[in-house]
Amino acid sequence: MIQKKYILTSFLVVVVFGLTTFFAIFCKVELPRAEEKSLEEKRAVFFSYIEIEKYFQGLDEEDVKSAIQQILDFLKEKNFNMILLQVRSFSDAIYPSKIYPMSKTLTGQEGGKYPFDFLAYFIKQAHQRGMEVHAWINPYRVRSNADISSISTKNPAYQWLGTAHVKVIENQGIYYNPSSQEVEDLIIAGIEELIQNYAIDGIHFDDYFYPDETIDEAEYQEYQLAMTKEEFRLAKVNQLVRRVYDTVKKKDLVFGISPEGNIENNYQRNYADVKTWLKEDGYIDYIMPQIYYGFENQVKPFEKTLDEWNALIQNHVALIPALALYKAGLPDQYAKSGSMEWQNHMDIIKREIEISRKVSKYRGFSLFRFGYLYDETYNQNLIEERNNIFELLKEKE
């Protein structure tokens, strides 16, 4: 009896194994969603507060929802699959928040009411089209000008005006102090609120880090540490970056940063320790350097700069270069002898994508920014540039 049961069991195992093998070989087996996403090329676009204001401000609820659907249909049709949506640009929010006031980019005035949850609807519609939404945050910027009158009483920066936590910088803007522990805790609280309440796919920072050379003077003197001011600032930014990474991992999300393309500037001006992020685990999941240069740029030619970034990566971090669609057809004064390149050529972005695909750490690309991809047609070069991009993406459908 025991022997018969053993034979029957063995027979069933063989049958199940055989059927499994048959379907694996002769049928199309779909990868689990997470694994499938990890293999696909990221085709991202920055969707900034400028676009939010342009396409949605002043419309009623139905028109906003219709505009969102139209925009996402366009991106889906053109084979994009990742949106960097700017949810916090000026210590505000494009969603109902208990920490930050509603953004003026949606309501026209900071702290105003909005008829529905814009972010929840945007995410839902994007996911229905198989597109990722990464919440793009400016952690330190409060304003891009020095006018404090526009800061609402609901803004956490309002309570800190006149303190070391916030600095008004003439001819530049208003910024949180990166060395303040209270500021760091505020940023983390905002991210925790986001990931708890919304089905976003990741958190994204751009290149706005240290705003000036004196904002942290008091904190640096207070610490009395055996380190230079530069080391102090790098350590403070690293502390925030690591905390953000640990926070998003509670929800198994990803965290990426889009630093300046000039590696040296990240150390000399922004105090963004990109070399550590790309060597040690526990900081970021992807790096999106703003390689906003052409091939003929005399100072930072594209291919050389791309290779420099690729060579820096010694850990798991994915390379997703950000490309300067906004330069199409315009002179690039900082390129020196290559200043006319964007006017003389109409396929720069296409060639940059093709070359980027060849480097070892490549996982995708991103374009700055959506408006130039969608409806801003200020010159023929831009039109041709994006048509070339669309054709290239169609080839890899």
DSSP per position, 199-224: --SEEEE-S-----SSTTHHHHHHH-
pLDDT reading at 3 higher than 70: no
3-state secondary structure of 79: coil
Q: Among 131, 127, 129, 92, which residue's Cα sits nearest to residue 108?
A: 92
Q: Among 330, 358, 335, 357, which residue's Cα sits nearest to residue 346?
A: 330
pLDDT (mean) for 313-338: 97
pLDDT (mean) for 246-271: 97
Residue 11, C-beta contacts closer than 8 angstroms, at least 6 positions apart: none
pTM for the predicted model, two decimal places: 0.90
pLDDT reading at 6 higher than 90: no
What pLDDT, on a 0 to 100 scale, did the predictor assign at position 9? 39
Q: Report residue 305 as tokens.
A: 């700069």
- The Cα–Cα gap between 196 and 334 comes to 43
pLDDT reading at 74 higher than 80: yes
pLDDT (mean) for 193-215: 96
List, for residues 91-124, the tens digit of each pLDDT value.
Answer: 999 999 999 999 999 999 999 999 999 999 999 9
Helix (H) or strand (E) holding 136: strand 132-137
Q: Spell out the domain ranges in the chain.
A: 1-30, 42-395
What pLDDT, on a 0 to 100 scale, did the predictor assign at position 122? 99
What is the average pLDDT value for the chain, to the nearest integer?
91
What pLDDT, on a 0 to 100 scale, did the predictor assign at position 41? 98
42-395 CATH: 3.20.20.80
Contact, 113 vs 107, CB < 8 A?
yes
Contact, 248 vs 202, CB < 8 A?
yes
Which parts of the chain fold into alpha helices (H)? 2-26, 33-39, 49-56, 61-77, 104-107, 118-128, 156-160, 181-197, 217-223, 229-248, 263-265, 274-277, 302-312, 341-344, 348-356, 370-374, 380-395
Model confidence at 7, pLDDT cuts 50, 70, 90, reads very low
- The Cα–Cα gap between 142 and 164 comes to 14
- The Cα–Cα gap between 397 and 394 comes to 5
3-state secondary structure of 92: coil
| Locus of tokens 């801003």 | 376
pLDDT reading at 81 higher than 70: yes
